[in-house]
Amino acid sequence: MAAFFVQSLAQAPEPPTDAITAATTLTQLFAIGINHQTAPVSLRERVAFADHALPAALAALRALPAVREVALLSTCNRTELYAVADDQGDALCDWLASHPDAGDLHAYLYQHRGADAVRHLFRVATGLDSLVLGEPQILGQVKQAWSAARGAGALGGQLDRLFQQSFVTAKRARTDTRIGANPVSVASTAVRLAQESFARPADSAVLLIGAGETVELIARHLAQAQVKRLLVANRTLAHAQELAQRHGGIALPLSEIDRHLAEVDIVFSATASREPVVRRAQVAAALARRKHRPMLLLDLAVPRDIEPEVATLKDAFLYTVDDLERAVEDNRRSRREAADAAEAIVEIQVARYMESHAASTRTEPLKRLRAHADSTRADVLAKAQQQLAAGHDPHAVLDFLAHTLTNRLLHAPTVALRQAALEGDNDLARAANKLFPATGTGTDASGSDSDSGRLEAEN
């Protein structure tokens, strides 16, 4: 059967690049990355990409010789590459592990391939691979990675379908299980940590640094906890003012943190800065003005916003995203049953994706056959129109159109069937009988017809 199609398409033009990409085997699909399970924040922050840096990074990745498609997911807890590549993934690993300022991170990378790469993305989008099990923010971040890759022209058909299926999987898991019931994000876990500490929000002044999604979530949780006083500092004052207005706070420019740091009991920071925005000297000065009343600082950014040396100060209690691992252990246990159900949904969706991908590769010969027929029809029709324009008899032109089109379409199958008969290829003969059941026409046993000589003349 396959041989028949190959022969019948012998005269067809080479398939377009998109067709080749659609038929790419799953063994060329990779998921490569570093996350909270394989590396500490001090290493992850070296390969964290801010939104504005994504286009350049995607362009560099797409320019790698073996890479056909690529998407880059970068969050506080992971930086991952999803790609279709012609090599063994080596170029992608080398790019990520030796990224400027990264040093050598090869030992901290993981690589998934084929079905394992599909499964990994589905688990990530569902929240099953998150620091906080089932947290909802990751799905939005996966969608942003997909959108950025599309916008940069780095996404092709295979990755596009894969990401679309990951969205379906995540939605199904949250609808059919309790993995999304009362979702707990990194932001809510951080606020809960504050509530269980010496600095309860209801009795404290709180400073939020940043104005992005994480800080917005923290502000909502603080409002629910009836925070006593809320200050919001951001490099763009207008953004701080908008967030502060929504949650009853006071907005500050980032440059005024020094003036107000001594007033607050808790600091939450989550910016996209490449450099620390709160340094040890600033906190030391604030603690002195507070007469060494303790201060709780929670750094949720990657790269880190608060200098690690702040932790050496006697009355400063600094936590990073890695420290939340212990705080969310209870959450993991309570959600394990729901997670097991979600894992089952992931496996079902992986199987469906695999079936869909296999079907797309099986139908590729049919697409080429159709394209060849359409091309032949257009060519013969153009010649017939030229004959009509030249004043040829319309009946003769119609006769030319019908015979030429028939002969061109049947030439390659006819030759293949003749060869099969000579070689005793019964499989091909049976396939032909299925495709071309007897209709009682005047075709002879050899498979030739009255126009074969004409066809030979044309070829």
Active site residues: 76
User: Whole-angstrom Cα distance, residue 419 to residue 424?
Assistant: 8
Instruction: Give, in order, the Cα–Cα distances in Å from 18 to each of 79, 155, 177.
Output: 28, 12, 37
Give the end-to-end CA distance of the chain in Å, rounded to a whole number: 25
**In sequence order, which ranges of 390-435 are alpha helices (DSSP H)?**
394-423, 426-435
E strand or H helix at 33: strand 29-35
Three-class secondary structure of residue 319 per DSSP: strand
User: Whole-angstrom Cα distance, residue 31 to residue 172?
Assistant: 22
Complete edge-to-edge strand list for the sheet that includes strand 78-85: 67-74, 78-85, 29-35, 110-113
What's the DSSP call for residue 387?
H
- Tell me how crowded residue 6 is: count the other CB atoms within 10 A of its CB: 13
Nearest in space to 128 (alpha carbons), one of 198, 78, 82, 196: 78
Instruction: Give, in order, the Cα–Cα distances in Å from 174 to each of 4, 140, 179.
Output: 47, 14, 6
Three-class secondary structure of residue 285 per DSSP: helix
User: Whole-angstrom Cα distance, residue 243 to residue 219?
Assistant: 8
User: Whole-angstrom Cα distance, residue 284 to residue 277?
Assistant: 14
- Residue 271 C-alpha from the chain's centroid: 23
**In sequence order, which ranges of 137-271 are alpha helices (DSSP H)?**
137-151, 157-176, 186-195, 213-224, 237-247, 257-260
Q: How many residues comprise the chain?
A: 459
